[in-house]
Amino acid sequence: MENRGKWAPQSMPYDAASRKNFKPAVKQYDVAEVLDRVGTYKKGRNAQPIPDVTEENDIYNILGQLLGYPYSARLRRILEWLLTPLEAEVGYVLKDVPQQEQWVHLAKYFDMPVAKMKDVLQSLFQKGCVFPKDYKTWMGFRFLPRGLYQLHDGGMTNPNIETKYGPTIFNLWNDFAIHDEVEAVIPLYKKFEEVGREASDYGRRVLPAYEAMLMSQDADKMQPWEDARAIIDS
């Protein structure tokens, strides 16, 4: 448990009997302080080079390519506003380090103290960019496994990010959605029309919000196919 860190969420029990009387223990800490602290961090002199990064192709361009919008100036503005160059590089390198105690391997990779690297992972988690595979051990962080929509949903549903970066970050996302994203989804919607189906019939699934379920009188009745954690585990 000690590896989880002070920011680790408390998981809602899976079994119905335990869920019925579950009350999360909210742990208070200053997210803004962590984000500000990470904003001052720099990698060390002996940091290893970042794969694929060149003078002509910096880390923000690479993330834009990874997210499917390689030439989007609007997405680049979002990434630059939300992530420091160090955070962007740490996220990109995550896939190349062992999943056990990633902060130790990353600290060595970037020639930084382990405590600072834990802060970087915490900041990326708050911004919706990384999530651990195992919340019990706080290990196995993955960088944007669901791509662009995770970057949006993970950050925009966090009130800590709203307090710190809103409304600017919301306006940047709105600008991106109105222009670049619309252009990208038009061919998809045309395909839906060709086969005679509504767009809402494809790839859509509504799940109860996790925090809402904690407050619901029916929390003990939640089925596995309604539990996002159970779906991911399967």
- Strands (E) in the chain, as ranges, are 130-131, 142-143
pTM of the model: 0.73
Q: 3-state DSSP: the chain helix, strand, coil percent, rounded to 5?
A: 55, 5, 40
Q: Where residue 28 falls among pLDDT bands split at 50, 70, 90?
A: very low
Residue-wise pLDDT tens digits, 119-133? 999 999 999 999 888
Question: By the 8 A CB rule, do 119 and 40 touch?
Answer: no
Predicted confidence at residue 185, as pLDDT, reads: 76
User: pLDDT tens, 34-55?
Assistant: 999 999 999 999 999 999 999 9
Phi, psi of 213 (to 5 degrees): -65, -35
Q: How confident is residue 27, by pLDDT bands cut at 50, 70 and 90?
A: very low
Q: Which residues pair with 143 in a beta bridge?
A: 130
pLDDT at 115 over 90: yes
Rg, C-alpha atoms of the chain:
19
Give the DSSP H or E segment for 75: helix 73-82
Strand-pairing partners, residue 220, are none
Higher pLDDT, 26 or 32: 32
d(CA 13, CA 18): 6
